[in-house]
Every structure is written in structure tokens, then in C-alpha cells.
Structure 1
Amino acid sequence: MQRHGRLPAELTSFIGREAELRSVAELLKVSRLVTVTGPGGVGKTRLALRAAAAAAADHPDGAHLAEVGPVQDPLLLGHAVLEALRLTDHTARPPQDVLVEQLADRRLLLVLDGCEHLVDACAELVDELLRAVPGLSVLATSRQSLRVDGEHLVPLAPLPAEPAFPGAEAEAVTLFADRAAAVVPGWRLSAANRAEVALLCRRLDGIPLAVELAAGRLRALSVEQIAARLDDRFRVLTGGSRSAPPRHHTLRTTIGWSHELCTMQERLLWARLSVFAGGFDLDAAEYVCAGDGLEADEVLELLDSLVDKSVLLRIGDPGGVRFRMLDTLREYGGQWLRAGGEDHRLLCRHRDWYLGVATWGEVEWFGPRQAETAERTRLAHANLRAALEFCLAEPGEEQLALVLAGTLWFYWVGSGHLGEGRHWLDRALALAPEPTEARAKALWVTGYMATLQGDLTRARPALEECRRQALVTGDDRALAYAVHRQGCAALIGDDPQRAAELFEEALWHYNTIGELNSNVLMAMFELGVAYLFLGDTDNGDAWIERVREICEEHGEQWAYAYGLYAMAYSKWATGEVRLARAFARECVRLNHLFRDLLGIVLAMDVLALLETEGPDTDLVEARVLQGAAHRLWQAVGTPFFGSRTFGGPHRECEQRARAGLTDQEFTEAFRLGSGLDLDAAVRRALGGELSGPPGGEGRSGPRPPVRPFPVPAR
């Protein structure tokens, strides 16, 4: 987690709200929970982000934004917050427990934005975190209060449509003028238009979203024409709940009026885009939304028009331009989609696109584009969740839920989302008990992830069911994977002889069916590790060398990173400390690229042991690295999977450090290490420097002889 925080940059000027900003700032100094409340479109998010940016300096670990809006399942709220904080967790524990543990010694401000649709879940999570994490403050936005003890409310009214004093400009008028000048070059507030603008802003009740939408219409209409058309819309669109505040009707009317001013094609695309959760790109929009009156080659121009009309936000990412729709506008578009009877068809197309994203990601995971695949899948995460939710809620879609959740194994495992992956797979398996190919895959993926978490009581039955089903149905691929993952369970169950037998059998099956991918490479690596644990370094090194050769040929780095762990272990066992350290550091660096905590922590424990070897022994640094590894294990699962064999380097290092340090040095060094966050721990393991983003080149410390696939010098 980055200490400077993660808040999006402001793309437009911030108008007014000085009093509200002061109020939030003052409350954050005396309260750990401040909730900005108000109707949709009133500017809660914008105010909260500006206030959080100003308050970030008072929080050593920064201010971080967690967007609740795209999350529909309350059970995924904790996972979404973990993701927003860039905290990776592989365990089967509830995400709120992980948050409590990983934030325990942090002092940060969490902006929880858009809580209204999950208000109960948000309230429960916030209450638990605030009670358990004394350094945490929360700034929430919601259309209603969370009703948590200690909560202070800042009700946000619309911008004043009347001047504060004679001669001043009303804030709503200033906002309109600012946005109008942005869309119509040369437009300015003048004596000729000021009265009409002021009247228009009063008619809009000063609601910022309404004002901005109205300003966007100046491309085609004058202020007078906008006011006239708005009057027409008020007369037509005056329905809604009698208990809702009047300004809710006004906002709905304004959005409806903006909708009416769109062309038929723009309205159609607006409605169809409502199936997306979070961001999406042009390719996704063209696939999901084209057809039945909307040609694919029209989508780009229409997207541009909707951006111009403030219906869509344009997001510039390193990987290309993406788009996003505000939740209020998305909800409105969804109503039109349902009214037109297109919702089911569009949701199916959305599901198909993101099933394709997952399938292509699984294919590209074996090759040189693994890092790009991980990032592309991360950007699609909210939509993948939406597609999974649709499959699980729609009768007849259960098999596709199994397919989608199982296909995403590479993301759940390789990018630190084991807990969430098991959440989806458990739900899908419960809904689809019949023995199908999709269920077989879901079973071995579940067993694999449970094994990585050290949860053998869940892993072994799932893998055995997969094996039995594969034998009955003749599913040779599922049989290979089931046997392979049973070998993993045996390996962490401290039975390397049985593990080696199962890995050999699995590799025979893989070879028979012509399977070659990252999973097959992991079977080779794991077989090499089993031989190393048995003391057979010749066979162990031979299999690890085979992994290296295939990885180098195909540009694979994720499985290769685990091969580096085995290389480091082997070189330590034969007394080649320099190479062992180089391999272990490269293992840490590559796994940090994927944010794979398991790979990082395994190598970090080896690095700790290596600090006790050779002429440059540093027992204090060894204990610091052990402390850092201990903290990471809490986010992975049972330390060393509960395996005495995997835990051997740790125990050896601990014994040496205890023998050579005073009790105070031993304890203080461990405490220092356990206080490091992920990036700081990785920086320490790499020798003091970590340049660039996660996964960037670490330039300090000895390097293996060959890049990017180092092998021992011959």
C-alpha cells in the first residue's frame, strides 16, 4: 500500500463549497468517521475527494479512495476495499479480518464513496474497522447516514443559486459559467445573459450535476432556449415518490431532459452502456452495444458525443482510453433499457464479452504478456464481478458461472485474489452439482486455491471429487489437473515422496493430451521442489532447469518466478550463497510485478536465511526480513501452508538469529520488519531500492548472470 495514498486527480475546476470544506476538515480533526450526505448529483464525491486531499498530510499513510458504487454484492465489499487499498490477500478469512490485520498499525484516511445501496454492509464494515484500527479515519459519501457510533454528518445542499451578498456571483452561476466556457469557446457570463443564467440555475435548484448537464447543452442551444425547454420538461416529468425530496424530482427531470436532447442513437447507446459496471473500453462497447439499430462503426462517434454531453467520463489509462458512466446516469439508462425489454439480451452480451476477456487472459497467461494480461483483467474486475453475478442470479446460467469463475484461476491465483475467487466458485459449485466439464475445472481450481491457503480440509475433498468425476466421464484434462493438485496437497502435507509420484503421473497425463501452459510448468517446478526436499538435488535441479528452458522459450515469467525460488533453495543447500541470493531477489521482484504474495514471501524467508550465511552475516537484517515475511504470511494464509518442510529455512534462520542476538535485538528487529508494508518489505528484500511501479526493476543487489532469465554460470 502506497503511503502517499490514492486519490484521482481533478479534471475540472472546483467551484465554491468553502464552508463545507472547512466543516469536513474540522470534523476530521475530532472525529474518525465523517459522512457527507445528500441527494444524487449534489457533489458529494467531489467534495469528499477535495477534503481528503487537503487532509492527507495529517495521515502518514495517506488518503485512499474505495468506490462502493460498482459493488453490488455486500459480501464483496471487503474485497473491494482491499483492492482499492492495493492490499493483496490469499487467505480464506473474511476480508474484514484481513483489513483489520493489515491496517492495524496504519494511520490513513479511507474515502468510502457511494455507500447508499450497501448502507448496512458499509456501516458494519466501518464500525468493525474503526473499533479495531485506531489509526484509521473514514470519510464516507452516501445518500443516507451510516448510523454508526461516532459518526458526524455533513449534509450537502445544492450550490447557492442566489448571491451571498449584493454584487457577488451565486456559486451555481459561477459553476455554469465555468463549464459553459469549457464547452463553447469564447462563451462568458455577461450583463446580457447573467439574468437568464441565474434564473436557469434557480430552476435547477443549484444541483451541480444538473447545472453541468445544462451547460453542456450550450453547444446546440442558447441559454434562453435551454430555459424554455427545461420548463417544458418540468411540466411533463413531475412524477416520482411523494416522499422523495423535491430536488430529487428536479435531478430526475434534468437527466430526463438531457436524455430527450440526445439523438435516438445516443439514447440507445446510453441505455445499453448501463450494463457496464465501472470502466469499459471502445472494443467492449462495440461488441456489447452494437446491433438491432446500432452499427458497430457508429459507436465511437456516439461515445464521443456522450462524453461531450457529460453523460460519460473519459478516463485516460496507460493502456488506452476508457469510459465510465456516473451511477446516477447509469441507473437512469438502465430504466430505459428495461423499459425497452433489452436488458436480458444486453446482459448476456456483456457476460459473453467478459467471458471472452477471461478466456483470452487464460490463453495469454502462458507467454510474454502476463503482466499486461494481469493489468487488463484488473481493469475489467468490476465488470467480471457483474458478469459472475448475472450468471449466478439467472436460472440456466450456472454452468457459465462455473466456466467464468474457473477460467479466471490465473487472476485469482496470480494477482492475489484467492479469497474472492473461492467466494465465486463456492457459490457456483453449490448451484450446479451435476458432473460436467465446467464443474470438474471449478473443483480443481477450488482445490488448488484452498491448497495455497493451507486449507487442506477443503482442498482434498474437492480434488478427489474432481479425480473421481474425471475417471467416470473420461475427462483426461480434468484428471491431469486433479492429480497435479493432489500432488501439491501432498507436498505441503510434508509427504514429498507421494508428491513426487503424483507430479510424475500428472506430467505423464499432460504429455499424453499435449498440454503445455503455466500450470504444467508449475507441476515441473513442484516436482523439482519435491526432489530437493527428498535430498535428490540432481533430479531436482534437472526439473528446475527444464522449467527455465521452457520459460525462456515462451517468455513466461510467473511460473519462472517460482522456479527461481527453487533455484535459490537449491543453491543455498549446496552453499552457493551469492547465486542463491540473486535468484531469491529476482523471485521477489518478479512476484511483486504480479502482486503474488505467496511467491514473494517464500523467497523472502530464503533471503532471511541467506543473511545468516557467508562472510557478510547480518543477523539483525535476517530477523527484519523474517518480521516482514511474517506480516505477509498473515495475508497469504497459514504460514508455510502449515508445512514443516517449507518452514525449514525459517526455523533454521530463527535459531541462528536467536543464538547470535540479544533478546532485545532479536525482538526489535522482528518488530521493525513486521511494521513494513508490501512495497517497503520488497524494497528491503531487494537491498534497499525499488524503482518504478510494483514490478519495476530493482537495481540494487547482485544480479543473476543472464537477464531476464538468469541461470547459474557454467
Structure 2
Amino acid sequence: MGARDAPRPVAPAAARGGGARRALYVALAVKYAPCTMETAGNLPSELTGFVGRASEVDRLRALVAGSRLVTVTGAGGVGKSRVALRAARLVQDRFRDGVWLAELIGLRGADLVDHTLAEALRLPDHTSRAPRKALAEHLADRELLLVLDGFDRLAEPCAELVADLLRRAPGLRVLAVGRRPLGITGEQLLPLQPLPVGSDAVRLFAERASAVLPDFAVTAHNSAAVAELCARLDGLPLALELAAVRLRALSVEQVLERLDDRFRLLTGGDPSAPARHRALRTAIGWSHELCGPAERLLWARLSVFAGYFDLEAVEYVCAGGGIAEDEVVEAVAALVDQSVLSRQEGAGGGPARYRMLDSVREYGAGWLAALGDEARVRRRHRDWYLGLATWCELDWFSPRQAEVAERVAADLPNLRLALEFSLDGVAGEPSEDPAVGQYLAGTLWFCWVGCGRLAEGRHWLGRALELPAERSEARAKVMWVYGYVALLQGDSAAALAVLQECRDEARAAGNAVAEAYALHRLGCLALVSDDMPRAERFIDDALLRYRSIGELNSNVLMAQVELAMSVAFQGDVEQAVRLAEEVRDICRDHGERWTLAYALYVLGYAAWLGGEPERARRLAEEALAIDHAFDDLVGAVLALELLALITEGEGAPHEAAVLQGAAGRLWESVGLRLFGSRYFNAPHAVCEQRVRAALGEAAYAAALGEGGRLGLDAAAHRALNRPRGAGRGEQHGAVRAPVPREPAASPEAAG
């Protein structure tokens, strides 16, 4: 009995309701895609008041208006990021495609700069192009401002990237933030000095102090001491904020006394260093000295984190060896109180998250290195995120799938650090066990494929395969995941080579799981290569193997969706519907949504073929909402193509052409348009022929251009918010004939 005929679980009737669930998915699209063309960008909101700097902000706005590259420079803690972000907010209306912030603080590897920038720009590139090329093509005709913060550790590769993008994207402007210039021809500099100690510095200190002590005010009694403190700290905003925290326990005069008596040596050091550098070290060192032993040790160990992290991670990574587990919470609270850690409320009522400013992290990292404990703590860090990845992979096939996508996005900086440590080791010592790095890279398949990070995934998977390691289950998994990513990017040769090698090695080693996955992905490769009989044969075989070993997850269900596509393209639409409906029911039983979107796409296409345009639209919209929520560009662009076809049938040829234009733009980030497949292209060709006939060549080209200016967010928003009944004055009727076994030779035959 073949996999198509084998019995499969069916969801209970109560689990099949569509209306409320569809509304939930559309709401997800709104939640995850707040950025339309009118509100493009990702600038964070300000959490505290902005004090002073009016002339610097005005000067920076003028520089950005007149120059394509502006760099704000200055010492750590001088307020460079705040000034840059304030200016960026004030000029964002000038940029058609918005203002985007890319934070590079914490990156260690130069090869991650391009990926991090693509992530910040929400550019889920599915092609096999180098990330640099994808970025250049994405930015080529856009008008946006890119704020590049914290490039200091990777100044040379950042400078190379910025210079290349500015050459290739005439509408791009860059506002960089660092301790030194990038050194690129044409760069305009705004060296940022500390706040004037007699005015703005006092205002900032007073505002931050009143946040600690609501009744605090600068009075005749303490004004001289406040002014002296601001002068002693050289008007550095970070130093002033750290000093203000001390007012919980000390008066201003006591703060001054302790600065003078206990930290005289900290203001020394290199006599050639600027006073502001010594002042910052004074402020940070002072906070360090006032910490208890457990707090100091925790500070040092926390320096292995990047970006935001939560309390559970801190407890696992940092407890032990001088910090009892029950001391961690109190130590974290103390570091938050002292502004060593900043706290952020968790999304949707989730747990709070924490992060360190870069200057504070560097101070802690110095202590960790002096303690000789860096390798051990980074290993603990890796182990935690290895466990997180394992948990997320399991929960990807569950009602917590959306939570997993959010969690992976939030923890991506730390997952990158864990991958670097697993693959490269630390402090000149190579990785102790290459299989661990391979396991981590392969386990994150859902992040690379399901959450739209194919290019970065292929980077890590490729590095994992380069490791000198013996055959293992971890290496086999990396191979089939690498093949999966490569085929989705359109790199058929690379996909075929690694998948065949995976199949042969798995067969020789008796690894039934890896062999099933290799066969499945070879079938998927045949599907996008228009070899439908071969696709059906391989995927059918893989499904039987999955069933025999008890494998059931998103990949297995995706295999059945792909089988449905292969039989539909061979003319058996009825069987395709049965297969897709079974997947839909199982997905809803398990709370799975990523694969569900593809099943809905197949069902929507079948409904369109069967003359049910309203049902087809509901299914296609639901599919698009889910794909958009997960940043799955492959699924989203397929759904957009289908919605264009449905929209044309509703008598709205202009809107259909706009959606085709948007899809055409997005295909550039997927790879070959419609995979280069005659089968996948047939409905597109039908839509194109009819819209051209309805609009005429000039109007069709104009509508395509209109759609081509839409990114994924704007395109999805437009498609999902189309008024019902709009444009129905020109009915064309749905295509009713099943797709032929061989692709049509012309659009007329395909229809």
C-alpha cells in the first residue's frame, strides 16, 4: 500500500472550525507586520526623556540631509546612540522606505555583518546569492536611512559593506555610530562631546535622580555638589546615570566624597587617555566596587551574552562557583538597580528580559578574562542555547509554534554566539566536539526554513559541514537540512550532491531517519524541477518510511503537501485535495500553522479550479497571513500569486496586476521565479494573459510597477485588506479545468 492510500489520523470535527481561526491568522499578520509603506522602519521607542543636545541633533539632521554617509563618533557612554536615534526619528518622513536600525554590538565574526544587516532590514532572502548581493539588490531602488550602531569591533568589514552598498544603492543614506570614523571617502563626521557640565549635564543628572528619588531636586543646598559631580564625571551621560542610581543610598555629597577617596586610582591609568575615558571607567568601576562579591562575579559572567537574555538563561549559565543558585535573582535585581543591567518587559506578558550596554559588558568581559573563566562560562552559554534550540524544534510542531518563532527571533544574537563557540572554540582553542556545532546548526532548521533565514542558515550549515568530523547522526542531519535550504534557494546542483551523499551515508550506517529525510528532499527537488513522477515516487517512499519509524512533525506533513502538489500537477486534483485536507486536519489537531499554510494554498488553488472563488480567497488569505507571520517568503509569494489570480476573476484586473508586480519583486528574494517550473507558472500565465487583455500593455506595466514598489509587509497588508466586492464589474469566471499532466504550451491551454 502506498503512502497516498495509507490511513492517516483525522482531526475531530470540533477542531475544523474555520471562521474564528481565520480571523486569528489575519490578526497575526497585523501583529507581525505593523510596517506598511507609510510606517516603514524599526526604530525603538524612547524609554526615558531626551535631555539637551538640541544643537547636535539639528546639526546631525542637516548632515544627513546633505550627505549620504554620516558618522557620529565619541567615547563610550557619551550618548552617541541616543543622539543618532533622536535625529533619525525627526527625519524619517523624508525617506519613502523608512529608517532602519541595525545593531552590531556583540557581533564577533565579520561574516555575520551582512546577515545581521539583512535581518534588521527584514530581508528574508531565499536565494543562493551572497548576502551582500541580496542586500544591494534589495536597496537598489529604495530610499531609506540605515542607522548602523556599534560597528567598532568590526570596523573594516563594516566600512567595506557600507562603501559597497552606497555605490550600488543611490537612494541609500547611512548614519553610523561608533567610537571612530569608518574612514570612507565622503564620510561626514559629527564628533559628540560630553554634555556641558554647567547646564545640560545637571539637567540630565536631576532627571535621572528624580526617577530614583521622586522628591529629588537641585536646590540651593545641593547645587554646588551636583555641579561638581557633573564636572568630575565630565558630563558623560552614562557616568551621570550610574551616579544618579547611587542616590538610593547616598547623598550627593557622599557620592562626591567616595568618588574622590576610593577611586582616585581609577581616574589615573594612561595619562594620555582623554579625561572622559577615565571618567567613564571611574563611573563603571565605582559601580563595580560597590557591588557585593556575587554581583561582581555575575557581572563578569553576564558578559558572555549578546543582546537580550532572560532570568532562566542567567541562572543556568552563571550559577555555581561562587554564586549560589538562590542568589542569582537577588544579584540580577541589584545589577538592575545599579543600572548595570537594563530591564525590558517581556512581549505579551512574557518573562522580563535584560541586556548590558556595550561599555558595561566590556568592563565585565575584562574581569572574566582576568579570572580565566571565559571558556567554561561560554560553554555553559552554548549548552543553554543548545537546549533552547532542541526545545524549540520539538515545540515547532505544537500550538506554541508562533511562540517559538518569536523566541528564536529574540534570542538570535545568543544563538549566533553559541554557534560560533561550537564551531570555532574560544581564545584560540578549537571546538572540543564538532558534532555539537553540527547538531545545533541542523536542529535550527525551522529557524532557517520556517522563519525566513535561508541565507544565514546556509552559512552556518556550510561551516558545520566543513568541520573535520566522522559520520554521525548530527552530520547526517546537517546534510539533509543543507540540501533542503539549497533547493529552496534554487541551487539544484548543490542540493542534489549533498542529498545523494546523505542518502548513501545514511543507508550505509543504518540511519533510517536521515535516509527518509534525504529521500523526501530529493523528491522535493524533483517537484521544483518539473519531474512529477520522480517527485511522487520519492516522496511516497519517504512517507512510508516516516510512518514505519513513527516520525510525525512539520516536515512529515510538508512531505504530504508536496505529494499533493505532485499529483495535482499530474491531473489528479481530487486526490490532491484529499491529501491536503488530511494535512489541514492534523495541523489543526496539533496547533501546527507553518505547514498548514501550504496545505491551505493547495486547497485554495483547488477551490479556484473548481469554480469556488470566494472559498479560494478565504483559503489563500489565511495561507498568506500565516506565511507572513512566520516571515516565510516562499509560502507568502505563492499565496500572493494565487490571490492575484483570484482577484482577476473578481473583475479587478488592475489590483491583480499590482499583486503580480509585488510577487515579481518578492521572487527576486526567493530565487527563480515560480522555481523556473512550467507547472507552478501555469496559473500565473493565465492571470497575466487576462490582465494584459483587460488593461492594455501600458496600464499593465504601470500596475506591475506599482506592485513592484511594495515590500512583503505592504503587499500582505494590501492583499489581506482588500474590500469585499470591490471591482466586480468585470467578471471573467474561474478556471475550472484540472491542471493537465503536462504543462500547457500556452496560457490559453493552461486555462
Tell me the TM-score normalised to structure 1 length: 0.93
Change (3 A) 1:416 1:178: same
Matched position secondary structure for 2:680: coil
Structure 2 residue 262 is the aligned partner of structure 1 residue 208 = no
Structure 2 equivalent of residue 653 of structure 1: 687
8 Å CA contact 2:124–2:454 kept in 1: the answer is no
How far 1:701 sits from its partner (Å)?
12
Shift of 1:429: 0.8
Which digits, 9 at most, give the CA deviation of each residue in 1:516-552, with x for residues without a partner? 0000000111111110011122322221122122112
SS of 1:158's equivalent in the other structure is coil
**1:160, 1:380 → 2: CA distance?**
38
User: Which secondary structure state, in structure 1, belongs to the residue aligned with residue 384 of structure 2?
Assistant: helix
Give the 5 Å matches for 1:213-228.
Answer: 213-228=242-257
Measured after TM superposition, the shift of residue 347 of structure 1 is: 0.7
CA shift for structure 1 position 469: 0.9
Q: Look up the match of 2:415.
A: 384
Kindly tell me: are residues 549 and 292 of structure 1, through their superposed partners in 2, closer, same or farther at Cα, counting changes over 3 Å? same
- What letter is aligned with 1:331? E
Partner of 2:383: 352
Write out per-residue CA displacement over residues 36-63 of structure 1, whole angstroms, 9 at most, x where no aligned residue: 1001111101111111111122223332
What corresponds to 2:329 in structure 1? 300
1:648-681 Cα shifts (integer Å, max 9, x gaps): 2222222333333311012111111111121221
Structure 2 residue 719 is the aligned partner of structure 1 residue 688? no
Give yes or no for contact 2:435–2:469 (8 Å, CA) kept in 1. no
The letter for the 1-side match of 2:274 is P
CA deviation after TM superposition for structure 1 residue 195, in Å: 1.7
> What is the deviation of 1:240?
5.0
Match of 1:472 among 476, 500, 508: 508
Find the residue that maps to 1:237 and give its secondary structure: helix
User: For 1:159-180, what per-residue CA distance to the aligned partner results, in whole angstroms no more than 9, with x for missing partners?
Assistant: 122x3xxxxxx22222222222
Letter in 2 for 1:495: D
Partner of 2:99: 63
8 Å CA contact 2:398–2:592 kept in 1: the answer is: yes
Q: Which residue among 673, 678, 690 is the counterpart of 1:639?
A: 673
> RCO higher in 1 or 2 (8 Å CA, sep ≥ 6)?
2
**Is the contact between residue 414 and residue 594 of structure 1 (CA under 8 Å) also seen in structure 2?**
yes
> Secondary structure of 2:362's partner?
helix
Deviation at 1:308, TM superposition (A): 1.2
Choose the corresponding residue for 1:667, options 681, 701, 704: 701
Give the partner amino acid of 1:656.
R
Tell whether 2:319 aligns with 1:290. Answer: yes
Alignment partner, residue 343 of structure 1: 374
Partner letter of residue 251 of structure 1? L
Query: Structure 2: 5+ residue runs without aligned partners?
Result: 1-34, 729-751
- Whole-angstrom distance in 2 between the partners of 1:397 and 1:153: 46
Residues 1:243 and 1:591: Cα distance change in structure 2 (over 3 Å): same
2:202 corresponding residue in structure 1: 173
AA at the equivalent of 1:546: E
> Which residue of structure 2 lines up, in the alignment, with residue 167 of structure 1?
none
Match of 2:174 among 112, 123, 138: 138
Q: Is the 8 A contact 1:281 1:322 kept in 2?
A: yes
**Aligned mates of 1:240, 1:425 — CA distance in 2:** 45
| Aligned residue pairs, count | 685
**Of 85, 98, 105, which aligns to 1:49?**
85
SS of equivalent residue, structure 1 residue 548? helix
TM-fit CA distance, 1:591: 0.8
Unaligned runs of at least 5 residues, structure 1: 164-169, 690-697, 703-714
- Check conservation: 1:582, 1:701, Cα contact below 8 A: no
Matched, 1:253 2:287: no
CA shift, 1:141, in A, is 0.6
Task: For residue 234 of structure 1, report the CA deviation from its aligned partner.
Answer: 4.2
**How far did 1:406 drift?**
0.6
Match of 2:342 in 1: 313
TM superposition shift of 1:217:
1.4
Deviations 1:4-57 (A, max 9, x none): 222222222222112211211121221122111001111101111111111122
Deviates more, 1:119-128 or 1:277-286: 119-128
**Amino acid across the alignment from 1:256:** G
Q: What SS is found at the alignment partner of 1:66?
A: strand
Deviation of residue 212 (structure 1)?
1.4
Query: What letter matches 1:43 in structure 2?
Result: G
CA distance in 1, matches of 2:176, 2:313: 31
Offset at residue 310 of structure 1 (A): 0.9
Distance in 1, Cα, partners of 2:52 & 2:329: 35
Offset at residue 98 of structure 1 (A) = 2.1
From 104, 108, 111, the equivalent of 2:147 is: 111
Q: In structure 1, how many angstroms separate the alpha carbons of the residues matched to 2:497 and 2:270?
A: 52
Q: In structure 2, what residue type is equivalent to 1:619?
A: P
Q: Equivalent residue of 1:645, what SS?
A: helix
Q: Distance in 2 between matches of 1:390 and 1:244?
A: 33
- 1:506 pairs, out of 542, 547, 551, with 542
| Residue in structure 2 matched with residue 361 of structure 1 by the alignment | 392
Partner of 1:530: 566
Shift of 1:125: 1.9
CA distance in 1, matches of 2:623, 2:192: 50
Distance 1:700 1:567 in 2: 24
Q: CA deviation at 1:631?
A: 0.8
Match of 1:579 among 590, 615, 625: 615
Q: Please give the secondary structure, in 2, of the residue aligned with 1:100.
A: helix
User: 2:642 & 2:98 partners in 1: Cα distance?
Assistant: 32
353-362 or 533-542: bigger deviation: 533-542
Asked whether the 8 Å contact 1:286–1:296 carries over to 2, the reply is yes
Give the whole-Å Cα distance in 2 for the aligned partners of 1:368 and 1:700: 35
Deviations 1:226-263 (A, max 9, x none): 22222234432356556643422232232112100111
Contact (CA 8 Å) 1:370, 1:557: kept in 2 or not? Answer: yes
Local SS of the residue matching 1:90: coil
Show CA shifts across 1:378-419 (max 9, x none). 100110001101111112232111111110101111111000
Instruction: Give the CA deviation at 1:485.
Output: 0.4
**Structure 2 residue 77 is matched with structure 1 residue 35:** no
Query: Partners in 1 of 2:690 and 2:456 — Cα distance?
Result: 38
Q: CA deviation at 1:687?
A: 4.4
Report if the CA contact (8 A) 2:303-2:362 is conserved: yes
